Amino acid sequence: MSLHIAARDGEIADRILLPGDPLRAKYIAETFLDDAVCYTDIRNILGYTGTYKGVRLSVQGTGMGIPSISIYATELMRDYGVKKLIRVGTCGAMRKDIKLRDVIIAQGATTDSSIIRNIFGGSINYAPLADFTLLRQAYEQSVKQGIPARVGNIVSVDRFYDDEIDNDKLTQYGIMAVEMETAGLYTLAAKYGAQALGLFTVSDHLLTGEACTPEERQTSFDDMIRIALETAIQ
């Protein structure tokens, strides 16, 4: 058992899907995995292990923001030896050519997080990057499933409500979408020598103010989960 995860040694698979919302972890386990067993419910942050197409795999909620995902990602890699971590989340689109329900793969995760800055200090601006093998496999899966992913730079912001951030400049420099966790996940995966990837569906659009209906959210979430699961078992 680690501080925030109640699993015993061996109860977590070496590959894991990481939704922010713990109830999404429950949904994924119950909908897509066989023989899923819940291994933790500390703080209602649920985690399950089961199998997908015969391969042992876990799914665990992370909560919102880099501070929260950092707790779970650290304990999963350091204390349970998890080697392949795929974040599955939603994001807000920041460019006209990115549409609601698009699937996004974060090749890089720009951030305003002081956590990343404080690791390196001085004048270093670290570039948190996806694992290339996972990225290639996920992209190929997205093409195979008829929903080719958009691949590029996203921004992992510290504040969901942020009146000061310059979204126009981020867009001008190619940022496709905004979410709140991936820069932390990529940085920690590098530290622990694990593979990480961030996969998203666009739930809302910052330029147009559009948002998915609950039904659209569910369908596109399921599409993304299938891409993530097929990638995770390779």
Residues forming the site for ligand HPA (CB under 6 A): 90-92, 157, 160, 178-180, 203-204, 206
Question: Does residue 222 have an active-site annotation?
Answer: no
Nearer to ligand HPA, 120 or 160 (CB): 160
Nearer to ligand HPA, 218 or 234 (CB): 218
Task: Supply the minimum distance, in Å, between the C-beta of residue 70 and ligand HPA.
Answer: 16
Q: Could you tell me which residues come within 8 angstroms of residue 158 by beta carbon, excluding any fewer than 6 positions away? A: 65, 66, 111, 112, 113, 114, 180
Question: Which of these is catalytic: 21, 79, 204, 223?
Answer: 204
Closest residue to ligand HPA, Cβ-based?
A: 92
User: Which residues face 181 on adjacent strands?
Assistant: none
Task: Supply the minimum distance, in Å, between the C-beta of residue 162 and ligand HPA.
Answer: 8
Task: Supply the minimum distance, in Å, between the C-beta of residue 19 and ligand HPA.
Answer: 12
What's the chain's length in residues? 234
Nearer to ligand HPA, 90 or 187 (CB): 90
Q: Which two tokens stand for residue 188?
A: 């920690």
Nearer to ligand HPA, 202 or 229 (CB): 202
Q: What's the CA gap between 18 and 22, in Å, rounded?
A: 9
Task: Supply the minimum distance, in Å, between the C-beta of residue 99 and ligand HPA.
Answer: 14
Q: Which two tokens stand for residue 213?
A: 């209906």
Place of tokens 């001008």: 172
Q: Which runs of E-coded beta strand occur in 41-176?
A: 47-52, 55-60, 84-93, 103-111, 150-156
Instruction: State the distance between the two ends of the chain, measured CA to CA, in whole angstroms.
Output: 28
Would you name the residues annotated as active-site residues? Answer: 204
